[in-house]
Structure 1
Amino acid sequence: MMFRFAFTLFVVMLAHGALAKEPKLVWFTEDYPPFNYHVNGQVEGISIKALKLIYQDLGWKFDDNEVMLLPWPRAYQMTLSNRNACIFSMTYTEERAKLFQFIGPTMDNHVAIIGHKETSYKLSNLKNIGNLKIGVVKNDIGHQLLRQAGIDKESLVFLASGFELVQMLKLKRIDLIAYGDVIARYQFKRAGINPKHYRIVMPLSSSYLGFACNKAVDQHVVDKMNDALKTIKRRQPEIFDPEYFYSKAE
C-alpha cells in the first residue's frame, strides 16, 4: 500500500514537473510597436524578443505558430476565456491584476491624452473634456483609465488599433487620443506623421508593460518565467530600450 501511494505521488510530481518544464501556452498579441507588431507574416518587436529569450533560458521550445496577432479587444477576451492563454504587451493595473497573472515588468509605460500642438486644449482634469472626442482602442489601457474616471461613452470614439488612432487624429476626425506615449510616437512614425507636431495634453498613468496569463495557468510556470525575465533584464538591459531596438532594426 505504501509503495502504491509513493508511486502515485511520484507520478503526480512528475506530471507537475513536466508541466512546469514545457508548458503548452497560446500567446495573443496586437499591433503595438515597438513592442509587438506584424512583419512579413511574423510577429516582431521588443516583447516577442524577450519572450523568446525567456523560453530559451528555461529550455522550453518556442513555437511561432502559437503566437496570434489580433485586434486588442479580441486578444483580451480570448486570453480571459482560454485557460492556457497569455497576452502581451499589457500595462499593469490593479484592476487587471485581479483578472490576470502578470509576468514583468519588461519596461515602463506612460499613458496620456495626446493632441495636436496647434490646439489650445488645456485639461486640468478629465471633467473638462466637454464636447471633445477622444479616440481609444477598446479595453486598451487608455480606454480603461477613462472608463474608471467616469468619462461618458459618448465622448469616446472606438478604433481598432493605435495606427488608426494617429491617422484619425491627423485627419481631425477626433480631437484627442488616449494611448501609451512611446507607442503613439512610433505609430506616428509608421503612418508618416511627424510626432513633433503632437503633444501630451494630460498624463493619465505611469505603470509598466509585461506579459499576462489567464488565472488558470500554473503558478509555477508564471513564477519561472518571472525569474527568467529578471535574469535577462540584468544580463541584457539594452534590449528593453525602444531606441536601441529601432537602431538595430533600421
Structure 2
Amino acid sequence: MKHARMVIVVVLFLWCGMSDAQEIIVVTEIWEPYNFVKDGNVIGISTEIVEHTLQQAGMTIKDGKIGVYPWARAYAMALEDENVLIYTILRTEDREKLFKWVGMLLPSEKFYFYKHRTRSDVVVKTLDDAKQYQIGVLRDSIHGQFLTANGFPKESLDGVSDQVLNLRKLLYDRIDLILDVEATLKIRTQEQNLPLPEFEQVLFLFEHGYYMAFSQKTSDTIVERAQSAFQEVQTSGIIQEILEKYK
C-alpha cells in the first residue's frame, strides 16, 4: 500500500513537471510577411507555422500571447532565458551553438546591399568596396554579425532597433547602405509610403534559411517534441496552405 502511494506521488510529480515544461515563451519581431501585428493579433507565415507546430506538440504559449519586440530584445531573451522560442531567425554558423534549432520553416531568401538611387558616389562591386561607407544595420541581427565576421570596422556600422528607420535614413542620405531582402523591402516601402524605386540593389551578400530556435536553457525533451511536431506539420500540407494564404 505504501509502495502504491509512492508510485502515485512520483507519477503526479512527473506529470506536473511535464505540464510546466510545456508552457513556452514565444518571441519574435515585426518582419512582414513572416511575423507582424494586425488588429492586435500576431499573424504571418512563420507565426502560423509556429502555432501549428506548438499545437501539434501539445505545448502552450505563455500567457496565450506571442511577444513582439525589437529584434535585439527578442534575441537577448532567447539567449539568456529558459523555455524561450524565437522565430523567424536565420541559422548561421556563429549562431549554431547558441540555440536549439527546429525547422527550416521556410525556403531561404537572399540579402542584398541597397543604396539610394541618387548616390552615384556610392560604388559597391565587391564586399571590400563597402567597407568605406556608413551602413545601417538592425541591432543584434544577422546584418551586423555578417559584416563584422567579414572584417567591417565597428565604426562603419550604424545600429538601430527598427529596419524602417534604416530605410528613412538611407533616403535622407544619413547612411550610405542598408541590408535587406527584396520581398520584405517591397512590403515595408508600401506600408510606409516610401518610394521603392529609390532603393537600388547593388550587391548580393548571403542566403540563409528561416528557423524557429529554442534557448539553450530549454530541455532537449521539449525541443525533440517540437521537432517531431514540425515534421508532422510539414507532411500534412498545412505549410503550403499557409503560403497560399499569404501569397
Both structures adopt the same fold (TM-score exceeding 0.5): yes
* In structure 1, C-alpha distance between the alignment counterparts of 2:198 and 2:127, rounded to whole Å: 23
* In structure 2, C-alpha distance between the alignment counterparts of 1:237 and 1:195, rounded to whole Å: 29
> Aligned residues, how many?
241
In the alignment, structure 1 segments of 5+ residues that lack a partner are: none
1:1-250 to structure 2, matched below 5 A, reads 7=7, 11=11, 14-15=14-15, 18-19=18-19, 23-62=22-61, 65-107=64-106, 108-120=108-120, 121-234=122-235, 235-239=237-241, 241=243, 244-247=244-247
Q: CA deviation at 1:239?
A: 4.5
SS in structure 1 of the partner of residue 170 of structure 2: helix
Answer whether contact 1:102 1:212 (CA < 8 A) is retained: yes
The one-letter code of the counterpart of 1:193 is L
* In structure 2, C-alpha distance between the alignment counterparts of 1:240 and 1:207, rounded to whole Å: 21
Q: CA deviation at 1:111?
A: 2.1
TM-score (norm 2): 0.84
Call closer, same or farther: CA 1:240–1:134 in 2, change over 3 Å. Answer: farther
* In structure 1, C-alpha distance between the alignment counterparts of 2:84 and 2:221, rounded to whole Å: 15
SS in structure 1 of the partner of residue 183 of structure 2: helix
Deviations 1:6-55 (Å, cap 9, x if unpaired)?
949963994498359x6111111111111111223322211111111112
Call closer, same or farther: CA 1:209–1:134 in 2, change over 3 Å. Answer: same
The one-letter code of the counterpart of 1:179 is D
RMSD (Å) for aligned C-alpha atoms? 2.8
Q: CA deviation at 1:240?
A: 5.5
Call closer, same or farther: CA 1:207–1:222 in 2, change over 3 Å. Answer: same
SS in structure 1 of the partner of residue 89 of structure 2: strand
SS in structure 2 of the partner of residue 154 of structure 1: helix
Call closer, same or farther: CA 1:96–1:180 in 2, change over 3 Å. Answer: farther
* In structure 2, C-alpha distance between the alignment counterparts of 1:8 and 1:56, rounded to whole Å: 28
SS in structure 2 of the partner of residue 168 of structure 1: helix
Call closer, same or farther: CA 1:104–1:191 in 2, change over 3 Å. Answer: same
* In structure 1, C-alpha distance between the alignment counterparts of 2:204 and 2:241, rounded to whole Å: 26
Call closer, same or farther: CA 1:92–1:231 in 2, change over 3 Å. Answer: same
Answer whether contact 1:162 1:184 (CA < 8 A) is retained: no
TM-score (norm 1): 0.83
Call closer, same or farther: CA 1:117–1:133 in 2, change over 3 Å. Answer: same
Q: CA deviation at 1:200?
A: 2.7
Answer whether contact 1:112 1:142 (CA < 8 A) is retained: no
Q: Which moved more, 1:100-109 or 1:39-48?
A: 39-48
Identity of aligned residues (%): 24
